[in-house]
Chain A
């Protein structure tokens, strides 16, 4: 297991390097000039100032020089300097990554547990009211655009029935660092998490339902039933362990998608995370910041996938044996 894991980590590092080069190249060939944006935001600038800004960020160098400088800096732990915010990208990302992780991990765990529970429940009685309800909710959740779901939830739970805040991570008057602050953040977290989880909730409930239906039909489950085991043991000990494997696999694969989903959710809910930062960086052509965010996202996805790999082996010992 250790050997295969170290191989996996080795692959991950190579992949990360490829991601860095690909992202840098893609952003470089995209139209738009960060210097023009900066000058525009300043209200205008002279051609001399444009040249000066270009030189100060090394943008006057040929592409290969810029790429090699960038890779060299990243290897030394320096993700560059934000054109727009005038500060190191690493600091900018570290300031916001906590808010995004809080949102993304809570939403993913919520979708995973509730979605799986709903899927399993509906699989056991496939033609029941609950089963149909889960199907309908899944379909709706999967088809509705995430920003629309967000705005509808705000209208319902913050405006029509004002029990939750409209947006932000904390109320204006809550002092930082207090216990009240934690509670306030939790209250602000509810609607964005529900919005982000809505798509994945639908997905996991469908997936776990299908997987469970298939497993429940298999011979070993019939044998378990024939042995006279209780329904609980048959479903949750014997069937679930196998039925959950595709769900775990997809959780890893989807982590990247949840992060990208966070871009819209964070914008709608004014959530101070990486999503809004990514959105702004694209609009402002702040490529070092965008590259930094992409690097961090790739890193997170790789870490989560390695963790999923370990979990996978724990659930299904056959994989480690192979």
Chain B
């Protein structure tokens, strides 16, 4: 202990001294420092095991507690984490991973290939995207404790992306393999044994979650931080005030409005960024029930899209802090293309299209009316977008009645039972389109389940392209297929895409190395440090 404390200042001073002796003209780069407590918040979580639950509430702390085989960098490239190396067979049907030697769980037991096999099986069975991610993993072989081989029945181009701690956390088989249902396992919340850079020290779900440094983490000298404290704060205004006062050092998925961002930046101590959400890809859209009149008519949908000026929404309603969406893929995705048929806002043209579609203006100027549902979640985005849509469509004789859902359950029930005309909606892309995008377009995914193909779109040509993209391993060919898919979605006007979500991370200037990969706050924070 004495030695490490004594050596720490030396390790910081030495490079600076050498630079000074050499007469370096440039300012020395800041050296990460060990120690300190990072204060952050959570809106509350029902489990700490990301292997059985998706979403940021579990994912952010979960990625600190559990390690994954790989990490994904800013360019969507996999880099070693618990797997120090891997190889892929020529036919892309076999992936062999070599685990880091000496890696241990938080209870001191070694992390072996058996744990990896157990984790994959758990995720495949229990995670909402388990099947989408690992459905084509036919078997997992464990030739020795540090080698694990995935045998695939068909190529999974996004396999490595799904091996991040968020999506495939390495779980201890000796804890969760006791025969109890992993989804409801008591150890998901009590006495949690993880494999990641931080260990659970205190878990009071109503109050706070305290994680402390895992001294035996498999990456030497990491993490830098001694402690992470997640205080439970549900109200976004309260979070803004806490940030303003400096009670919080870092928040991902902050839930703030663009106007709050300006206010927080003015403090001079805080940075607000929308970077680091590429792999999540949060997009908003106006969803129309395509089964019934008038939205089963493409011309009507085109009229609506022509009346709504999404540039206005992005610039004025979102303060210019977000980007206009052009299709089902987030602009941060490697598969995104802007080369799709676009529609320019024009009220006269919109009115003409409705005339052509057989909806002329009546004596009172009204053509038709419909109810637009507003979800109970992400109100800061949905409410202004819905109100703007109502006002714009009113100008072309379409009467829109807004219906604000009182709670999540009411909205989910309406949409998943297809008992709606139109709704503001939004969903995550997730790192691979197979997980987050295909679900909205697949003919066989028209199900009574929220965030499936609830609008009822089905086109065999689209299905064929989705099936091809799902197994294409050549990146360029895959990009080309997804470009076609985006063009087809725009041509068919499956959804009317709104500006992308203003998802922001807010952090104090004293935070060094804020998580910068495409997973942002959902990636492990072992490189994060506090200055001074």
Interface residues of A (CB under 8 A from B): 31-34, 36-37, 39-47, 50, 84-87, 95-96, 99, 151, 154-155, 158-159, 162, 165-170, 172-173, 176, 267-270, 272-273, 276-277, 279-280, 282-285
Least Cβ–Cβ distance between B329 and chain A, in angstroms? 18
Asked if B150 is at the interface (CB within 8 A of a chain A CB), the reply is: no
* Given A42-B53, A47-B448, A270-B238, A32:B409 Cβ within 8 A: yes
Q: How many A-B residue pairs have CB under 8 A?
A: 142
Q: A85-B46, A170-B208 known; A283 and B408 CB under 8 Å? A: yes
Contact surface of B with A, Cβ cutoff 8 Å: 37, 39, 44, 46-47, 53-55, 128-129, 183-184, 188-189, 202, 204-208, 229, 231-235, 237-238, 241-242, 244-245, 247, 376, 407-410, 412-413, 416, 439, 447-452
Contact in complex: A168, B233 (CB < 8 Å): yes
Contact assessment for B413 and A36 in the assembled complex, using a CB-CB cutoff below 8 Å = yes
The 26 sampled A-B contact pairs (Cβ below 8 Å) are A32-B410, A33-B409, A36-B450, A40-B408, A42-B54, A44-B451, A50-B449, A87-B189, A95-B205, A155-B241, A167-B233, A167-B235, A167-B241, A167-B242, A168-B208, A168-B231, A170-B207, A172-B229, A267-B235, A268-B235, A270-B231, A270-B235, A272-B206, A277-B206, A283-B376, A285-B409
Say how far A265's CB is from chain B's closest CB, in angstroms. Answer: 11
Residues on B with C-beta less than 8 A from A46 are: 447, 449
Contact B241 A43 (CB under 8 A): no
A86 to B126, CA, bound (A): 15
Rounded to whole Å, the gap between the CB of A201 and the closest CB of chain B is 23
Docked complex Cα distance between A67 and B237 (Å): 39
Instruction: Select from chain A the residue with minimum beta-carbon distance to B39.
Output: A172
When the two chains form their complex, are residues A99 and B54 in contact, meaning their CB atoms are under 8 A apart? no
Indicate whether A86 sits within 8 Å of B46 (C-beta atoms), given known contacts A270-B238, A283-B376. yes
CA distance A259 to B409 in the complex (A): 25
A32 touches B229 (CB 8 A): no
Chain A residue numbers with a CB within 8 Å of B128 are 42-45
> Do A31 and B449 have beta carbons less than 8 Å apart?
no
Say whether B54 contacts A86, CB under 8 Å.
no
Interface centre among A172, A268, A276, A284 (most CB of B within 10 A): A172
Question: In the complex, A280 Cα to B55 Cα: how many Å?
Answer: 17
- In chain A, what residue has the closest Cβ to B445? A44
Min CB distance, A70 to chain B, in Å?
19
Contact of B207 (CB < 8 Å), options: A33, A85, A155, A169: A169
Which residue in B208, B229, B237, B450 is a CB contact (below 8 Å) of A39?
A: B450
Closest to B428 in A: A43
CB neighbours (8 Å) of A31 from chain B are 409-410, 413
Which single residue of chain A is at the shortest CB-CB distance from B190? A87
A151 and B237 in contact (CB under 8 A), knowing A34-B409, A158-B245, A282-B407?
A: yes
Q: Which residues of A contact B234 (CB under 8 A)?
A: 267, 270, 276, 279-280
Residue from A39, A42, A47 having most chain B Cβ neighbours under 10 A: A42
Assess whether A173 is in contact with B229, with CB atoms less than 8 Å apart: yes
Give chain B nearest CB distance to A33 CB in angstroms. Answer: 5
CB-CB nearest in chain B for A41: B55
Q: Which 10 A-B pairs have the closest CB atoms?
A: A32-B409, A272-B206, A172-B229, A43-B128, A272-B207, A285-B409, A270-B233, A43-B54, A37-B409, A36-B412
Asked whether B407 lies within 8 Å of A285 as measured between CB atoms, the reply is: yes
A155 to B242, CA, bound (A): 10
Instruction: Knowing A32-B409, A166-B247, A283-B376 are in contact, say whether A40-B37 is a contact too (CB < 8 A).
Output: no
* Neighbouring B residues of A96 by C-beta, 8 Å: 206
B376 touches A44 (CB 8 A): no
In the complex, residue of chain B having the shortest beta-carbon distance to the beta carbon of A42 = B128
B-side contacts of A277, CB under 8 Å: 206
Whether the pair B39, A283 counts as a contact (CB closer than 8 A) is no
**Bound CA span A59–B384, Å:** 37
A33, A86, A169, A173: most-surrounded residue (chain B CB, <10 A): A86
> Which chain B residues border A86 with CB–CB below 8 Å?
46-47, 183-184, 188
Among B205, B231, B233, B439, contact of A85 (Cβ-Cβ < 8 Å):
B205
Given contact pairs A167-B241, A282-B407, a sample of 5 additional A-B residue pairs in the complex whose CB atoms are under 8 Å apart: A40-B408, A44-B452, A87-B189, A99-B207, A168-B232
Q: Which residues of B contact A95 (CB under 8 A)?
A: 204-206
Residues of B within 8 Å of A47, CB to CB, are 447-449
Q: Give the residue name and chain of the A residue nearest to B430 (CB).
A: A43
Interchain CA distance A151-B238 in the complex, whole Å: 8
Inter-chain contact A284/B409, CB cutoff 8 Å: yes
Asked if residues B241 and A159 are in contact (CB atoms below 8 Å), the reply is yes
**Is A159 within 8 A of B408, CB to CB?**
no
B278 to chain A, nearest CB (A): 19
Residues of A within 8 A of B452 (CB): 44
> Which residue of chain A has its CB nearest to the CB of B409?
A32
Q: How far is the CB of A166 from chain B (nearest CB, A)?
A: 5
Complex Cα–Cα for A31 and B417 (A): 13
**Contacting residue for A165 out of B183, B205, B247, B439, CB 8 A:** B247
Q: How far is the CA of A87 from the CA of B186 in the complex (A)?
A: 9
Bound CA span A84–B47, Å: 10
**Which chain A positions have C-beta within 8 A of B232?**
168, 270, 272
Are A39's CB and B449's CB within 8 A? yes
Separation of A173 and B46 alpha carbons in the complex (Å) = 23
Contacts of A37 in B (CB 8 A): 408-409, 412
Give the chain A neighbours of B207 by CB distance below 8 A: 99, 168-170, 272
Taking the closest CB of chain A, its distance from the CB of B396, in whole angstroms, is 33
A36 touches B416 (CB 8 A): yes
- Per the bound structure, the CA–CA distance linking A285 and B409 in Å amounts to 7
Task: Decide: A172 and B231 in contact? CB cutoff 8 A.
Answer: yes
A99 to chain B, nearest CB (A): 7
B57 to chain A, nearest CB (A): 9
- A273 and B206: CB pair below 8 A? yes
Supposing A172-B231, A280-B44 touch, asked if A268 and B247 sit within 8 A by C-beta, the answer is no
Contact between A154 and B241, CB atoms less than 8 A apart: yes
Nearest CB of chain A from residue B103's CB, rounded to whole Å:
29
Task: State A84–B46 Cα separation when bound (angstroms).
Answer: 7
A60 to B452, CA, bound (A): 24
The complex places the Cα of A151 from the Cα of B53 at a distance, in Å, of 34
> How many Å lie between the Cα of A268 and that of B44 in the bound state?
15
Of B53, B128, B244, most A-chain CB atoms within 10 Å:
B128
Q: What residues of A have a CB within 8 angstroms of the CB of B451 in the complex?
A: 40, 43-44
On chain A, the residues within 8 Å of B447 by CB distance are: 46-47
CA distance A277 to B46 in the complex (A): 12
For B39, list chain A residues within 8 Å (CB): 172
Q: Which of A99, A154, A166 has the most chain B CB atoms inside 10 A of its CB?
A: A166
Give which listed residue, A39, A158, A172, contacts B37 with CB less than 8 A: A172
Closest CB of chain B to A302's CB: distance in Å? Answer: 25
State A159–B55 Cα separation when bound (angstroms).
Answer: 32
- A272 and B204 in contact (CB under 8 A), knowing A36-B416, A43-B55, A166-B241? yes
| Residues on the A chain within 8 Å of B46, using CB | 41, 84-86
Q: Which residues of B contact A273 (CB under 8 A)?
A: 206
